[in-house]
Amino acid sequence: ATWVLRLPCVLAAMGCVGLTVSIVRRLHGHTVAMIAGILLALCSEYFWRTSRFRLDFMHTLFMLAAVRMCVEGAMRARAGSFSAARAWVLAAGVPVGLAMLVKPMFGLIALALAGVWFLLVWPTVAGGTARPVRSLIKWIPASMLLAVGVAAPWHIVMVVRHGDVFTHQYFIKQP
């Protein structure tokens, strides 16, 4: 029954493929999305790593979920639905907080990169309609605070229970 130990990793890897397809479809259309998904799913290194228990797939799944939410926010802002756009970007903090429960602090990178994307890359994708999307940048810090709020309770309990042993293992050895 060792497959039961690998099942979460396999499911997370499948979720990563699905989220990759969803992100690419929203930005570049169905054909490009299917090609991206097939290439990722058939990559031998990617497939091989699913046969071992690794937290990387779960972490990546949560980060991709946050990226997908930020992409949706950008698309909603572009369409003029600013309240929905802000809600999507703010809500991206939830999967980032879950990513921070899997691996320390790296989940915040997804939100920081979304901010850079809103600022630098989006104007080339949007074809001159960058202003509404750039306004989403101010919601990235709020999303980061939400992420910290999701992850903080567990971290606080671990520090109270285990003290320096936890902080050294979690922040120094693990990354």
Average pLDDT over residues 128-156: 87
- Residue 119's pLDDT is 83
Average pLDDT over residues 154-158: 93
Question: H helices within 29-106, ranges in order?
Answer: 30-42, 44-49, 56-78, 82-91, 93-102
Exposure on the CB side of residue 35, measured as CA atoms within 13 A: 5
- Residue 132's pLDDT is 72
- Residue 2's pLDDT is 76
For residue 55, what is the DSSP state? S
Six token digits for residue 123: 């104007």
Confidence band of 81 (pLDDT split at 50, 70, 90): confident
Average per-residue pLDDT for the chain: 87
Evaluate if residue 125 carries a pLDDT over 60. Answer: no
- Residue 99's pLDDT is 95
Which of 17-26, 48-57, 121-130 is least confident?
A: 121-130
Six token digits for residue 105: 């602090």
Evaluate if residue 65 carries a pLDDT over 90. Answer: yes
The Cα 24–Cα 20 span in angstroms is 6
The Cα 118–Cα 60 span in angstroms is 21
Residues across the chain = 175
**Pick from 52, 47, 57, 51: nearest CA to 15:** 57
Evaluate if residue 175 carries a pLDDT over 70. Answer: no
Average pLDDT over residues 44-65: 84
- Residue 124's pLDDT is 57
